[in-house]
Structure 1
Amino acid sequence: MGLFDVLKRAFKEPSKSNEVKVAEPRRNFDEEFTIDPILTKKLSNGLLPGEVLLIDWISGKRKSVKHSKYFERTYGIEPSKSLKKLVRQEYIAEATPAESLSSLKLPELKGALKAKQLKVSGKKADLISRINENFTEGEVGSLVGEGIAMKITPKGEEVLNEHYYIVLAHRLDSKDGVYNVANALRQVKQFDYRPKNGDISWGLFQQAYIEHAQEFNYGLMTNDLRHMAGQLEREKNFKRALFQYLRIFIMDTSGLNNSPRLDHPKYMMFDIPASDTINRIVESLEMEDDALITEFDYAWSKTIVGLKYHYLTPEECLRCLFCSMDGNHEEVEELIYNEYNRLKREMSEKTFREKYGLDFPMD
């Protein structure tokens, strides 16, 4: 059985469904603002993916608002030109003065309320509600002036519903070329049904993890795990998120990175961020130490099979975890340095390379 098959079996952990199809992700299209070709292809309704985003983005904003640069740089559309098209084709329309109050800034809303000696406390929605209750239609119109906002029409809502995955893929873009609108578009084409947003992103993260594992890019593998853990947290699936964060901790203490050389301890981080998140999840789950140890043992067994080397034994890594959760980063440093010194005493650079396929740490 090859590494790919081992990892596929060992790390398959779909977010919501038992089987997740994946499309081959394409990465690094944002370099120097190069537009991913799939974003320049029209959807079945004749709109570009960036125009679907624009429908959602412009809602509640003034027609004259300054557009975000990513519409041109990432999605390859001219927002002002696309906006006219969306109005002409009735995907968006001008809102009423009352509906346009949301386009005003807080000081403007508070100023209007203060002029009528009304309360100015509360959230923006409270201020808007207070104005609608105490101002005439003409007064609201005067207050809004030329700041009429745009709103989504029923036709626009249908587009957002049909291409539901586009807006969320933009908002939750992983920024590393794995989960974004372009790859979500590719991923959805692999399904003959409407996949959940969680299945789309999970499939992409899982595929990226397998690819990075085949290439022994451990730093990128850790990023993929972090994305999976974050998704599980958003889904409030905290126990499974804990499993992923434990894997991240194990990876962070291994000494492995994206290069074929094992890290020297002086280049490693001993205040390991994952431990803070683990602490928080353990407290929220009211998990006892014995239960955490069981979870750690499972995470270790599923992670270590994909690693060429680890500075620590499972017992030492567990000890590092508890020390790190207690804020005792000095002991984490001491444990890893002890193992590094033992490695130097017991193994030559040549033997280490032959056994693990890694270069010896560079001091």
Structure 2
Amino acid sequence: MSTDNTFNITKVSSTRVENVNLDDPGFGERFSDHMLEVEYREGQWQKPSIKPFGTIEVTPALNTLHYGQSVFEGMKAYYADENTVNLFRPEKNHQRLVRSCKRMCIPPVSEDVFIDGITKLIKLDHQWVPQKEGNTLYIRPFVCAFDPIISARVSDSYRFFIITTPVGSYYNRPVKLTTSQKYARAVKGGVGAAKTAGNYAASLYPAQEAEEKGFDQVLWLDACEHKFVEEVGTMNIFFVIDGVLVTPELSGTILPGITRASVIQLAKHWGLPVKERRLTIDEVMEAGANGTLDEAFGAGTAAVIAPVEEIHHDGQSVRFDFEQRGPVGQKLHDQITDIQWGKAEDPFGWITPISVNS
């Protein structure tokens, strides 16, 4: 085991990367050689450890299993060249993790541990970063309660982990969306803006029902009136209506996506009209019917820019003729991914490069 001022590091004796096809890795199925773990006890976070990836032993009474006090993030690392791996806006992921922790009564992890931990993991496991265009190393930081007590209260102990996994495309074709008049993802005053496990667990059954009807995901509407568009189960949603890029405003029930913010900033930089506002599903369907809905796409870390093929609501559908992305979505996708992969200028300072051979 080696140590530095802030981390204990135990390296694997030999890598498993030769056993993984990085050109076709699936999504979240194989995990890199190392992981990070930090324990919170006695009112403070302890010294971080990087160790071989493996199982952890927990008690059946672990309170996070019963009461769901956990939050997570989703990030990617991008192969730039044999010496460099890029991170995309990692400080924004840390800021969102801190906000999620606050909402779930979890002590926040410091930015130093978050960024430095990811950096050290990437340096150790840089061979796991796929070189094939479109494939990346997915990074999953998460925090969970660790008290061995079945009691509905705030925990006294926590664990922070970072694991990584090589991934391919999340969606390999345009997606079909349907609304739900019966279920809701989030309510005002709830935890919709936090990236917490329960949000995703609650969305699985409606998503399963949507899949049984031939759709890929639910286009969530507001919980009170089932009238206003909010987001898709796995990403934020954008529409190009009469030449204007429109997305639902953040109101506490929508996850503030890092890719969402990047799309808005980039579009404004180009001079493309952008509006963040309340948007009814009836307006979307009417724009589709009268020809002013030019395109729709989702935006998220896993999907980047995912084109929408169909929007279904109340027995009616709007369909798009694009085999892949529309012109706005394609332009945004190309620019964002080129910045991420180091192929284009980064005018916003979004990229944090990691020198993997130093």
- Which band: TM-score by shorter chain? under 0.3
Question: Structure 2 length as normaliser, TM-score?
Answer: 0.24
More helix by share: 1
More strand by share: 2
Higher relative contact order structure (alpha carbons within 8 Å, sequence separation ≥ 6): 2
Larger radius of gyration: 1
